[in-house]
Amino acid sequence: MDGEVRINPYLAGNFAPLRSEDDFELEVVGEIPAGLRGALFRTGPNPQFEPRDPNHHWFAGDGMVHGFYLADGKASYRNRYVRTPKWKLEHEAGRALFGTFGNPMTTDPAAMGQDSGVANTNIVWHAGKLLALEEGHMPTAMDPRSLETLGYAQAYKGRTTAHPKIDPKTGEMVWFAYAVGEAPFATGISYGVTDAKGEVVRRDDFQAPYCSMIHDFMVTENHVLFPVLPLTGSLERAMKGMPPFAWEPGKGSFVGVMRRDADVSTIRWFNTEACYVFHPLNAWEEEGKLVADVMRYDVAPLFPNADGSPGTKAAARLFRWTFDLTGASDAIKEEPLDDLDGEFPRVDPRAETLKHRHGWYAADPTASGTIKQCAIAHLDLKTGKRQLYALSGGDLTSEPVFVPRSETADEGDGWLTAVVWRAAENRSDLLIFEALDLEKGPIATAKVPRRVPFGFHGNWASF
């Protein structure tokens, strides 16, 4: 309609930016377990200024970290922007300078060629360091208590992933990076390892079949798996005013498999039909095979087609991918594990890279066909039993994060944490559950006096 004002959905409701940095003591309803001591850190996109790009994408906002600190039955909250070089440059200018994903067509000439990192996707605790991560730049170190930005972790020597995996046996952090090369949207991929002391001990590059947005990957005890799926990046498209990242199913789907101790020249490429995975649950080794449980989409959601036309709405379901390392076929065997729409799957971190029994994820029992996170699910892969904690009144949950009861507790014995937006009150709560008894409901609720905008990932740290 003529004169109609289009509202960007990523700048409205609980996607809308929150520009205050606050410290709160939280009211607690119920009882926070005495053994739950540490902090849940979460991060997400939060544009400092009104974006320049009318088609601003949720993934492109400045990173803001939210810390929930728990001890002695009490809870406090603190949030701070990640003060990246981009954030500082725009803060000084008092306005947005960069286009979405650094798009040169919508970037102010004053910022052309400058660092566009946002550190908005994940935040991990490894080797005594808190690192804010995204897919295009080095990790940003932050003080875990004050959330002061300490700057780039220069030892990584270039971009890294937002989704490293920490080996529970060795303490190593295994990571990757995509679009590595001189030009934007290059086809290079890096494979890297940070040892248990926090030293980067490996970084090797290889070429992918094409430039794909590789949001996450899979790691087992002895192997690493790189999914190259047809959500493609293209500088040529971007320079024509078309979408920098777009769904291009004709490219096909590939997963590169390599031993962790091998040279990148040994990668073997497996394939399957066009699909997309933002997040795997976990992967492990079993009798000459690699097995990965993944949240699989038929098409990439949230992104347009390569011709610029709107993409198809889609939801993910849990699938199992099997790679036969001893066979002659490079086809990936696929089988569904669950019939419930979901996203943000998590395991007990002590089971990462190993065969797991338990998984948790944000779920949509309404089958809306989109990423509508109105429930939290637990799936016992041994018994096949699924538990569900459903939210009501339009409330929506973040990614659930598991915290072990102790280092020696059985897999799954511990607590589940989740930040939930209360739609009617337009504020948020931190919910704490017994991880294996979701249907019981939260055993404690820490009430935030305002909202925590929708974000991406979080992790627990004990320090």
pLDDT digits (tens, 9 = 90+) for 402-426: 999 999 999 999 999 999 999 999 9
**SS3 of residue 225 by DSSP:** strand
Position 1 confidence tier, pLDDT thresholds 50, 70, 90: very low
For residue 36, the one-letter residue type is L
| pLDDT over 90 (residue 370) | no
Is 316 inside any structural domain?
yes
Binned at pLDDT 50, 70 and 90, residue 302 comes out as confident
pLDDT bin (cut points 50, 70, 90) of residue 343 is very high
Q: Is 215 annotated as a binding residue?
A: yes
User: How many structural domains is the chain composed of?
Assistant: 1
For 108-154, write each residue's pLDDT tens digit: 999 999 999 999 999 999 999 999 999 989 999 999 999 999 999 99
Q: What is the pTM of this model?
A: 0.94
**pLDDT confidence of residue 463:** 84
Tell me the C-alpha distance between 245 and 42, whole Å: 25
Query: In this structure, is residue 309 part of a structural domain?
Result: yes
Tell whether 66 is in a known binding site. Answer: no
Among 373, 389, 401, 390, smallest CA distance to 438 is for 389
Residue 378, annotated as binding a ligand? no
Band (pLDDT 50/70/90 cuts) for residue 2 is very low
Which residue in this structure is represented by tokens 């979460």? 42
Whether 139 maps to a domain, the answer reads no
Q: Which has the higher per-residue pLDDT, 55 or 363?
A: 363
pLDDT mean over 396-404: 98
Query: DSSP class of residue 303?
Result: S
Q: What percent of the chain has pLDDT over 70?
A: 99
Report pLDDT for 6.
72
- The per-residue pLDDT of the chain, averaged, comes to 95
Domain containing 253 equals: 208-337
> Does residue 345 belong to any structural domain of this protein?
no
* CA pair distance 418, 42, nearest whole angstrom: 10
pLDDT of residue 4: 54
**Residue 220 scores a pLDDT above 80:** yes
Rounded mean pLDDT of 46-64? 93
If DSSP codes are grouped into helix, strand and coil, which group holds residue 314? coil
Does 300 map to a domain? yes
Q: Is 279 annotated as a binding residue?
A: yes
In the chain, % of residues over pLDDT 90: 89
Q: Can you tell me the mean pLDDT for 185-207? A: 97
Asked if the structure places residue 420 within a domain, the reply is: no
Residue 227 lies in a domain: yes
The separation between the first and the last C-alpha atoms of the chain, rounded to the nearest angstrom, is 56
Domain-located, residue 425 = no
Q: Which residue has the tokens 């790679």?
A: 323
Token pair, residue 136, equals 């295009």
> Is it the case that residue 339 has pLDDT exceeding 90?
yes
